[in-house]
Amino acid sequence: MRDFRDMFVIARREFLERVRSRWFVAITLLGPIGMVAMVLIPALIAGRGAEGAKVEIVDQTGVIAQPLAAKLEEAKWKPAIHPASTADDATYRTEMGRIRDNKINGFITIPRDALDGGQIVYRGDNASSQVVQVTLHQIVGLVVQAERGKRAGIPDAKLAELLRPPNFEAQHTNGETEGASGMASFVIAYMLAFILYMVITLYGVAVMRSVVQEKTSRVMELMVATVKPRSLMAGKILGVGAAGLVQIVAWLAMGAITLAYSDQILGAFGVTGKGPALPSMALDVVAIVVVYFVLGFFFYAAMYAAVGAMVSSEQDTQQVQTPVTMLLVIGVLCLQLVSNDPRGSTSAIMTMVPFWSSMLMPMRYVLGGATLGEVAISLAILIVSTVLLARAAAKIYRVGVLMYGKRPNLQELVRWLRY
């Protein structure tokens, strides 16, 4: 009983030390603002597109510049046709100079053989924008196809019918739920996984730094004299984890509200029309995210606590914590694999491995790639792994918190684990 009492006293101290911080309150409040921005900003950007972009058209064909300029004006760009009929070096230098002097955003070079497959090139200071790339690709493609149709003698009415773009949308579904926007589903699932990665990393490192600070200030010697190392480590993990749990629950609650009232939020900022169908953040999703955060945090916090016990200074932690951090980074790098094929064998394997399941399984579940049975198996593996890892970390912690000087080598760590 005393061990549990000591553990909760330390947990309470660690928890209050963090939640009373102004930074904790600020970050907790900024999280919901970020949730609203996640829905609002893409809609505003999509509505504006590349509005106001100043571009010039250097056309050697003599037939593409006019219709291209008209299409760009419809997209609310500001096009102008360069008077030069050839795209020689002088014209190139002139246009590059106008970009450098910030008179235009860019220029489109259309070669003489553009209708026969010659490469049309856009150079500009906004060419890295995905919106600019997609808009120009679509508009230039339509204009070139229209001119090819005219050259082939196809009537204008027939040509307009042939070039009318299809009304297309990719909807994500596993066959059991209504389809939602594929891009929106990916963004929401990716954000959930990234939030889990970020919070687990931040609070896991907080446990490590707390241990190192108490070691360097020699406070650890006084604490170990009254509290067992096992209770001390567990209390730190519980207290820090509780603070992280408060934060992530607040973010998830605001995220669920934002998704439920996304149309009203967009309407308040003047974004009209029905946007893409967004996947709902139902209660089961919130519960799974919270459970995986708790277990994932305990899993990695135990490792970070052991790292903190192994070193004697803040500088040493930068090197020793690298293997733990790299394990988390591998999970982040695999987010794309899960989103590309949520029901594939690679996703199934990755979400069962305890090093990465806390990040990848919630994402896979949101995308409809995992059943509740698979979630249960993944959780069972993660729970067993967390218990075993915590026991090993407690043994390292018990010896390491009172060790100063040289970092232990692998042989010494093995001896600590057998002790």
- CB count in 10 Å sphere of residue 223: 16
Coil, strand or helix at 4: helix
Structure tokens at 166: 């299809």
Shortest CA distance to 297 belongs to which of 195, 413, 416? 195
The CA-atom distances, in angstroms, between 313 and each of 194, 240, 257, 345, 413 are 29, 21, 44, 43, 18
The CA-atom distances, in angstroms, between 296 and each of 352, 372, 383 are 13, 18, 9
Average pLDDT per block of 10 residues along the chain, 419 residues long = 70 76 73 61 53 83 87 85 68 88 90 87 84 85 85 76 69 58 66 77 79 67 65 76 77 70 62 51 77 85 80 70 84 83 86 90 83 92 89 76 65 71
Contact 39, 266 (CB under 8 A): yes
SS3 string of 168-189? Answer: CCCEECCCCCCCEEHHHHHHHH
- Letter for the amino acid at 196? L
CA distance 88 to 211: 67
Read off the pLDDT of residues 207-261 as tens digits, 9 standing for 90 and up: 787 777 766 666 655 666 667 766 777 777 788 778 877 777 777 777 667 666 6
Domain 49-166, CATH class in plain words: alpha beta
Contact 404, 317 (CB under 8 A): no
Beta bridge partners of 124: 106
For every residue of 249-306, DSSP letters joined together read: HHHHHHHHHHHHTHHHHHHHTT--S--PPPPP--HHHHHHHHHHHHHHHHHHHHHHHH
Residue 78 has what pLDDT?
A: 83
For every residue of 332-375, DSSP letters joined together read: HHTHHHHHH-TTSHHHHHHTTSHHHHHHHHHHHHHTT---HHHH
Residue 53 has what pLDDT?
A: 83
Structure tokens at 91: 């014209």
Coil, strand or helix at 54: strand
Structure tokens at 284: 């089961």
Coil, strand or helix at 89: helix
CA distance 253 to 283: 10
pTM: 0.62
Q: What is the number of helices (H) and of strands (E) in the chain?
A: 18, 6
Shortest CA distance to 236 belongs to which of 225, 246, 248, 223? 223
Residue 247 sits at the vertex; the CA angle it makes with 244 and 253, to the nearest 5 degrees, is 135
Residue 380 has what pLDDT?
A: 94
The CA-atom distances, in angstroms, between 288 and each of 181, 337, 366 are 22, 20, 10
Domain ranges within the chain, ordered by starting residue: 2-44+180-418, 49-166
